[in-house]
Structure 1
C-alpha cells in the first residue's frame, strides 16, 4: 500500500486529481496547520508548505485548505507551495466563535465524528444534541463516546438517555484509562483508511483517549481547573495522525462553543424524531410551535416525544435562523462593497487620458 493510500487516498480523490492535475504538481493531505505553515503528507513523506498567493487571493478564508483536505502541491528543495484544494466530499463546520456570523471550517473529508463526553462532570444532553445536529447536517456520521464510565455507579442510564434523543447512532461506554475497554469498540468503529475526528469540551479525556489509541503520548493529558471544574486545554491545534491499526484520526482542541449553522440547502432543523412526526401535522407548513393539530405538540403533551428534545429543537432552530439571517446580511454587505469598488475603479479608468 502506498503512503497516500494509507492516509485515505481513494478512487474519488484520484479522479479529482486527474481532472485538476497540472504538470509538476503532486497530491498531498494536510496533517496540521500552524499559522501560515501547513504540514502535509506526500508519497515521499512530510513536507512543510505554504499557500500560494493566487490561492489566498481567490478564496474566502473558509475555503482555504484545512486539516484533512487533499491538495495540489508544488515541491521545492526547501518545502512546498499549495496551489489548489481538491473538492471535499464533506466538511465539518460551526459558527465562528464569539459575535461573528461567519462560518468556521474545522476539518474536511471525514467519515465519522466521535463526540466525547465525560460522565464525571461534562455530561450534558443539550450540548450533545447541539453537536449531533451540526454533525448530521454536515453529512458526517456521529458516534458518541461516554468516557469515564468507571466513575459512575450505573453508566447504562446515561446511554439510555442518549438513545432517547432519537439520533440512532452508536453510543459507546468506555474509560480512556482501561485498554481492555478501548479494544471493545475500536475493533468495530475504527476502520483502516477511514478518517475520524475527536470532538468535545476540554477535560473530557480526548487527549488521554488518543494517547491510548496511539500507544504513546502525543498530547499532554490535561487536568481540571479547581476554580470552575472546567477542563484545561491540552490540544491547541488540529492534527491528523495515522493510528497503529491503519485508521486516521483528527484530534481537535476542546470547544466551549459549537454554534449551529445548518446545511446550505437545509430548511430548518432536521431532527429524526421531529421529521418522523411532522407528516402527521394538520398543516404542511406547520412550525410545530402553536398550530392546532400539530403532531409534535401532541407528542410532547402525551410524553411520546421527550420535552428535552423538543425544547432543544426550538433553541437550535432559532439559532440556525439567526445565523442564516446574519450570514445573508454579511454577504449582501460584501456584494455591495465589491460593487462599489468596481465602480470606483471603472470611474478612475474612464477619467485617465
Structure 2
C-alpha cells in the first residue's frame, strides 16, 4: 500500500471521482499547521510547505487548508508550495471564540468525532449536547467517550443519561489507562484509512487516550489545576497521526468554548424535538410559549427531559444571534464594496 493510500487517498477519490491531477503538481494531505508552515504527507513522504500568494489572496481564512485537507502542492528539493485545496467531504467548524460571530474551521475530511468527557470532574450534559449538535450539523458522526469510568461507582448511569439526549450515537465507557478497553475501542470503532478527531475540554484525558491508542508516548499527559479543577493544555495545535491499525486521529487542543454556527434559515435539528414537532398545533411553532405545543407538553409529562429542552432553547438563541451577526457582516461588506466601486468610478471620471 502506498503512503497516500495509507492516509485515505483511495477513499477520498471514491467520493470525488472527477478530480484530475496536474502533471507538475502532487496530491498531499495536511498533517499539522504551525504558523505559516504546513506539514504535508505526499507519496514520497513528509514535506514542509507554505501557501502560495495566489491562494492567500483569493480565499477567505476559513477556506485556507486545515488539518485533514487534501491539497495540491508543488514540491521542490526540501519544501513545497501549496497551490490549491481540493474539495472537502465535510468540515468541522465552531463559532470562533470571543464576541465576534465568525466561523472557525477546525479540521476537514473527518469520518467521526470522538467527544471525550471525564467522569471525575468534566462531565457536563449541556456541554456534551452542544458538541453533539454542532458535530451533527457538520455532517460528522459523533462517538461519545466517557473516560475515567473506573473512578465512579456506577458508570452505566452516565451512559444512560447520554443516551437520553436522543442523538442515537455510540456511547463508550472506558479508561485511557486500561489497554484491554482501548483495544476494544479500536476494534469496534476505529477503521483503517478512516479519519477521526479527538474533542473535549482540557483535563479529560485526551492525550493519555491518544498515547494509549498509539501504544507510545507522543503527547505529554496533563494534570488538573487544584485551584479551579480545570485541565491544563498539553496539546497546543491540531495534528493528524496514523495509528498502528491504520486509522487516523486528529488530536485537537482542549476547548473551553464550542459555539454553534448556522447558515441562514437553519435551525437547531434535535432528533427528539424533530420527532415531536409535527404534533404541534401550529406549523411555525417556536416551542416556547404557543398553546398546543407538543414539545412543551412532552416536557411537562416527562417524555422529553427538561435538560434537553433547556439546552435546545439556549442553542437556538445562540444560532439566531450567530445568523443575525453574519447577516450584519455581509450587509457591511456589500456596503463597503459598493462604496469602493463608487470611489473608483469617481476617480476615473475626474481624470483629464
Q: CA RMSD in A?
A: 1.4
- What is the DSSP-based 3-state SS (H/G/I as helix, E as strand, rest coil) of the residue aligned with 1:341? helix
Is the Cα–Cα contact under 8 Å of residues 17 and 86 in structure 1 kept in the other structure?
no
Residue of structure 2 in register with 1:162 after alignment: 162
- What is the DSSP-based 3-state SS (H/G/I as helix, E as strand, rest coil) of the residue aligned with 1:10? helix
User: CA 1:14–1:284 in 2, change beyond 3 Å: closer, same or farther?
Assistant: closer
Q: Distance in 2 between matches of 1:252 and 1:228?
A: 22
- What is the DSSP-based 3-state SS (H/G/I as helix, E as strand, rest coil) of the residue aligned with 1:288? coil
TM-score, with length taken from structure 1: 0.97
Offset at 1:332? 1.4
Is the Cα–Cα contact under 8 Å of residues 119 and 149 in structure 1 kept in the other structure?
yes
Offset at 1:352? 3.2
Is the Cα–Cα contact under 8 Å of residues 69 and 109 in structure 2 kept in the other structure?
yes
**Long gaps (5+) in structure 1:** none
Q: Distance in 2 between matches of 1:74 and 1:281?
A: 57
Query: How many pairs does the alignment contain?
Result: 352
Confirm whether residue 302 of structure 1 aligns to residue 301 of structure 2.
Answer: yes
Q: Distance in 1 between matches of 2:333 and 2:104?
A: 17
Output one character per residue of 1:217-261: Cα deviation in whole Å (capped at 9) or x when no partner: 111000111111100000000000100000010000000000010
Is the Cα–Cα contact under 8 Å of residues 92 and 135 in structure 1 kept in the other structure?
yes
Residue of structure 2 in register with 1:75 after alignment: 75
- What is the DSSP-based 3-state SS (H/G/I as helix, E as strand, rest coil) of the residue aligned with 2:38? strand
Residue of structure 1 in register with 2:192 after alignment: 192
Q: Distance in 2 between matches of 1:237 and 1:276?
A: 39
Q: Distance in 1 between matches of 2:95 and 2:2?
A: 37
- What is the DSSP-based 3-state SS (H/G/I as helix, E as strand, rest coil) of the residue aligned with 1:80? strand
Is the Cα–Cα contact under 8 Å of residues 92 and 135 in structure 2 kept in the other structure?
yes
Q: Distance in 1 between matches of 2:195 and 2:11?
A: 15
Offset at 1:14? 6.6
Q: Distance in 2 between matches of 1:318 and 1:346?
A: 42
Residue of structure 1 in register with 2:270 after alignment: 271
Q: Distance in 2 between matches of 1:339 and 1:222?
A: 51
User: CA 1:24–1:122 in 2, change beyond 3 Å: closer, same or farther?
Assistant: same
Residue of structure 2 in register with 1:288 after alignment: 287
Q: Distance in 2 between matches of 1:290 and 1:14?
A: 48
- What is the DSSP-based 3-state SS (H/G/I as helix, E as strand, rest coil) of the residue aligned with 1:344? helix
Offset at 1:181? 1.1
User: CA 1:246–1:19 in 2, change beyond 3 Å: closer, same or farther?
Assistant: closer
Q: Distance in 2 between matches of 1:145 and 1:123?
A: 11
Residue of structure 2 in register with 1:27 after alignment: 27
- What is the DSSP-based 3-state SS (H/G/I as helix, E as strand, rest coil) of the residue aligned with 2:9? coil
Confirm whether residue 118 of structure 1 aligns to residue 132 of structure 2.
Answer: no
Offset at 1:151? 0.4
Offset at 1:299? 0.3
Is the Cα–Cα contact under 8 Å of residues 117 and 200 in structure 2 kept in the other structure?
yes
Is the Cα–Cα contact under 8 Å of residues 13 and 86 in structure 1 kept in the other structure?
no
TM-score, with length taken from structure 2: 0.97
Residue of structure 2 in register with 1:44 after alignment: 44
- What is the DSSP-based 3-state SS (H/G/I as helix, E as strand, rest coil) of the residue aligned with 1:24? coil
Q: Distance in 1 between matches of 2:349 and 2:45?
A: 53
Offset at 1:290? 0.9
